[in-house]
Amino acid sequence: MTVETGVDVPDAALRTRATQSAPRLRAAYNGVVQRAASALLPGAPPDVDRLARELQSETDRILGRAGARVLLGTVMIV
């Protein structure tokens, strides 16, 4: 599964924290995507809403508070 993500962070202080936490965010996102991909049945589409909720939850956890919004691009099964 391939997922394109971005993070929108309007607050300047939180944006700095998000930039510094980019490696941790990428690692957490990889874990979420791997779990979602391993749970897929053959031929079944991914649950994009659930994926977005889990990615948002990881973002909030790593940054220590809400305020950043996960943006999803392409979600593709290869």
pLDDT of 74 higher than 90: yes
Mean pLDDT value of segment 68-76: 95
| Predicted local confidence at residue 47, as pLDDT | 94
Q: What is the pLDDT of residues 5-53, one digit of tens each?
A: 999 999 999 999 999 999 999 999 999 999 999 999 998 999 999 999 9
- Number of domains observed in the structure of the chain: 1
Q: Which two tokens stand for residue 36?
A: 């979602």
Question: Domain residues for 63?
Answer: 2-76
| Predicted local confidence at residue 78, as pLDDT | 82
Q: Is 10 exposed, middle or buried (0-12, 13-18, 19+ CB in 10 A)?
A: exposed
| Predicted local confidence at residue 54, as pLDDT | 98
